[in-house]
Structure 1
């Protein structure tokens, strides 16, 4: 892999200083709420314990609302984006009431959905509840999407929801696609399909090799195809017809500044927090449960946010193993928190994938 350009090095050094400042001040900017573990799909790559009828009950909204009221006492609620996740959040019958209550507390809010229940009527209800942003998953054309999601008819439903939301000027909207060996060679055609639906923003990601995903060869791209994906995103962005971006994980070396709007940094615990289904206070939903920093049922959220999260804000402990002598550690800081195993060892290095 070719090295970084002078321009990239300067940009990365400037960002590094901003990151250090952010970790010291840790302004809360995003709060994920794992509102349910129930889900109406059977995704082959899912890392959650999700099913139509979960053994774990949905979190009562009032429990989460107490956290929001506490945040509002301390911070400017307009600057904290609340993102409702699951499971599938639309499985909650009270989702619109939850959204309206979040909006009434003056927090912008968004939703991450598989799109199966995102009917025109449901979209209208969410918009009236003050919806600020939405993300829908679509993993290729019908055969590939429904192979991944395990539900017939899911492609049609998601596509119709995308068509409506992509042309709704009042919200920020994107589609997220899991790139795998089934849909990789169809990405160019799929891009045209999304553009025809009116989509402006498209986020592509690859599954990290944990659990079921690690054992499924269809889900794991070769290093050659991973580099090909970077080239595809770079070319698509240059073309300018749709804004394609690679997901937030991974330092990408020579591709930094070319495949995302921002340079790589893991914001977990610095500006991003989460309230999980059991009340755990964590960061991104993909991070191991033992890295939770507290629980809303016994801890004050503000105290946890302001005084804990040390493993997130000082990542010197990550400089071991293959990261120990890496010259890019000052920019990467050991990749995302969700890519560390129970021993703290790195599961996946994106830079190494590009270097082979």
Structure 2
């Protein structure tokens, strides 16, 4: 996750005082933390969204973890110092024991988020969500009414999701909008950002399309690079103005770590009055962020207990929590993909491997490379920066985003020397 607002607030402080603020240091003697775990507790969903990575539908899926098994896994996650659980699906509110699971997680002092489509949240459900004490609830909106309903394949989905936002906001729940951009909905981004402000929503999460599930099937309609850059310019400008005005709004992005280098470029162009020392301090902060965290700081457990490097890697399983504890699976680098993801410098090749900003983005998103080329360490075709901007001398040829052919490519992992 790329926290735009965090950097903009720091830049605003530098704008006012001339000095980039020092990063906050962790408390002395603190324990190492495990990854953020996105947990798909149920695959069933009342919607069949066009970009769903889980390929969910409205029917039961056999073999899902029981409540008791969830509790056992939760104990292991806590002992492994996992700080955050994002409870997801499918539609997590369709799981009968979701509030019992949330109560247990809350009692164990996890930070808990709920990722929902919002269509099931009426007033009684909003009361239950508020009483559960979720630290954050993310509700997906893929555009305004017509666009959203088409994406979600349900007439009235937009109105129901927006009503959920209002119901939760009225109950003091921290709510965020989640937006996945493709060429089919990019035109609605400005209006959604205005809707966020009008509704006093706390957070806006912008997700670049990743190639998994139905998102992979629809990758041929991924937003072109020009549209992506326009969207990022708008997000950066919106977050910058919010920082200057002291607004308590959060803007974050996910699934394309080129956002880090692009921010550095945006600041150089739009905030040239800031001193070279401020620009260098920002660059160092972005290097400390480090870009893509799949297999390192973010993990996924699916509804069957399979562990994946993140939610976009459902076609690559590292192990199952019924057979081995999550902590053992996550620490095991005998899997070549995990060895590469956890490597100090990932064995990324092509234009990504030669990128001048590799220390910032970490080679970007590996699943896009794997789905299009069969090699997890090839260039990320979703990088929207030019060869000149990343300091490589290419011939203009890029891996093309082709339409989905119906098959998944085998994960290619070269041997890493040493």
TM range (shorter): 0.7 to 0.9
Rounded to whole Å, the distance in 1 between the matches of 2:179 and 2:223 is: 14
1:114-148 deviation per Cα after TM superposition (whole angstroms, max 9, x unaligned): 11112221122122223221111011111000011
Match of 2:323 among 266, 280, 298: 298
Deviation at 1:232, TM superposition (A): 0.8
Q: How many residues align structurally?
A: 331
Aligned partners of 1:107 and 1:26: how far apart in 2?
15
Pair 1:150 & 2:153 matched = yes
Equivalent residue of 1:238, what SS?
Answer: helix
Q: Which residue of 2 aligns with 1:3?
A: none
Residues in 1 aligned to 2:79 and 2:210: alpha-carbon distance in whole angstroms: 38
CA distance in structure 1 between the partners assigned to 2:291 and 2:35 by the alignment: 15
Task: Report the equivalent of 1:185.
Answer: 187
1:245 aligns with 2:249: no
1:266 and 2:273 aligned? no
Instruction: Compute the TM-score of the two structures, normalised by the length of structure 2.
Output: 0.70
CA separation in 1, counterparts of 2:303 and 2:68? 13
The structure number with the bigger radius of gyration is: 2
The residue number in structure 1 matching 2:404 is none
Tell me the CA shift for residue 52 of structure 1: 0.4
Counterparts of 1:279-318 in structure 2, within 5 Å, are: 279-290=305-316, 292-308=317-333, 309-314=338-343, 316-318=345-347
State yes or no: 1:30 paired with 2:36. yes
SS in 1 for 2:313: coil
| Pairing 1:330-345 to 2, within 5 Å after superposition | 330-341=359-370, 342-344=374-376, 345=378
Structure 2 residue 110 is the aligned partner of structure 1 residue 107: yes
1:279–1:296 contact (8 Å) kept in structure 2: yes
Match for residue 132 of structure 2? 129
- 1:214 touches 1:220 (CA, 8 Å); kept in 2? no
Q: Structure 2: which 5+ residue stretches go unaligned?
A: 1-10, 12-21, 26-30, 268-281, 390-395, 397-418
Q: How far off its partner does 1:268 sit?
A: 2.4
Matched, 1:320 2:349: yes
The question of 1:62 aligning with 2:91 is answered: no
TM-score, normalised via structure 1 length: 0.81
Per-residue deviation at 1:244? 3.0
2:98 aligns to what? 95
- Give the Cα separation in 2 of the matches to 1:199 and 1:60: 34
CA gap 1:54/1:226 in 2 versus in 1, 3 angstroms: same
How has the CA–CA distance of structure 1 residues 74 and 36 changed in structure 2, closer, same or farther, with 3 Å as cutoff?
Answer: closer
Distance 1:31 1:244, change over 3 A: closer
Report the Cα offset of residue 224 of structure 1. 1.4
2:45–2:57 Cα contact (<8 Å) kept: yes
Residue equivalent to 1:41: 47
2:175 to 148, 173, 176: 173
The CA distance in 1 between the partners of 2:234 and 2:332, in whole Å, is 42
Give the SS at the match of 1:112: strand
Does the Cα contact within 8 Å between 1:138 and 1:158 map onto a contact in 2? yes
